[in-house]
A = this chain, B = another copy of it.
Amino acid sequence: MEHPLQVSTGSAGVFNRIRESIISGQYGYNERLPSERDLAARFKAARGTIRTALEQLEQANLVRRKFGSGTFVTYRSDTEREDISEETSPLELIETRMAIEPHIVRLVILNASNRDLNRLEEVLKLAEGTENDPNAFSMADEAFRMTLASCCQNPLLKWIYRLINDIRSHNQWSARKDHVLTPDRIRFYNEDHWRLMVAIRRRDQNHAADIIISHLKQAHRDLLGQD
C-alpha cells in the first residue's frame, strides 16, 4: 500500500479533485465545467471515468448536467450573495411599496417647494394619452414616482426608492403588464395620480396618503384578481 495520504485515484480521485475546485470557488455558481472530453485530457483519464465522477457530483447536488450543453455548478458558496430581485415576488414588492410610498408623500407635502410641485406636474403630464401603450405608461409612472421620491428631500429615501424601482422593472410583474394594464386601468391609475397631485397641492397629508394606499391596494387586487 502506498502512503495513506496519497491522493485517491480513479473516478473517486477525479470526484474529489473536482469537488475541491467547486467548493473552493474556482468554479462559481452556474459556471460551466470543461467538457467531459476536455476533463479526460486534463486528468489523463478515460471519458467514462470522468463520467462516473460527474454522476457522483450530480448526485451530491454539486453539479447539474444538460444534454448537449455542458455540466454546470449548482453549488452556491456562502459568499456568493443572493440576487434580491430574483427572490422578490410581486406581492412582496407591493408590500414594501406600502411601507415607503405613503411616507414619501407625507414628506413631499412637508418639504417640497412649489417649484418641485410644478416639476412633478410636468412629469405627470407625460402619462397623458398612454392608455393604449402599457410600456409608455409604465415608464411615465416610474418617472412620476422617482420625481416624487426626489421631492421628499431625503436622499436616503430617494436612494432606497430607486432600488425598489430597479427591482420593480425586472420583476415578474413586468411579464403581466400587458394583461393588467388595460386602457381602462391606465385611465384609472392616471386619475389616481391627478387626485394625488391635487391633494399634494392642498398639502393634505392624510388624504394624499389615503390615495396612495388605496392605489396600491388596487394594484394588489389587480395582481391577484386576474388570470
Contact = CB atoms under 8 A, between A and B. Distances in A.
A38 B4 CA distance: 10
Contact of A98 (B5, B88, B103): B103
Given A154-B92, A159-B84, A170 B61 contact: yes
Give the interface SS of chain A, mostly helix, strand, loop or mixed. Answer: helix
Number of copies: 2
Contact of A107 (B95, B154, B155): B95
A27 B4 CA distance: 9
Contacts of A87: 155
B107 A103 contact: no
A8 B26 contact: no
Contacts of A104: 99
Given A42-B3, A166-B61, A84 B155 contact: yes
Nearest to A56: B30
A214 interface: no
A154 B2 CA distance: 55
Contacts of A155: 84, 87-88, 92
A32 interface: yes
A12 interface: yes
A104 B157 CA distance: 16
A31 interface: yes
A77 interface: no
Those 5 A-B pairs whose CB atoms lie nearest each other, nearest first: A99-B103, A88-B156, A2-B42, A92-B154, A84-B159
21 contacts: A4-B17, A4-B18, A5-B26, A12-B32, A60-B83, A61-B166, A80-B159, A84-B155, A84-B156, A84-B159, A87-B155, A92-B155, A92-B156, A92-B157, A95-B157, A96-B156, A96-B157, A99-B104, A100-B100, A156-B167, A160-B163
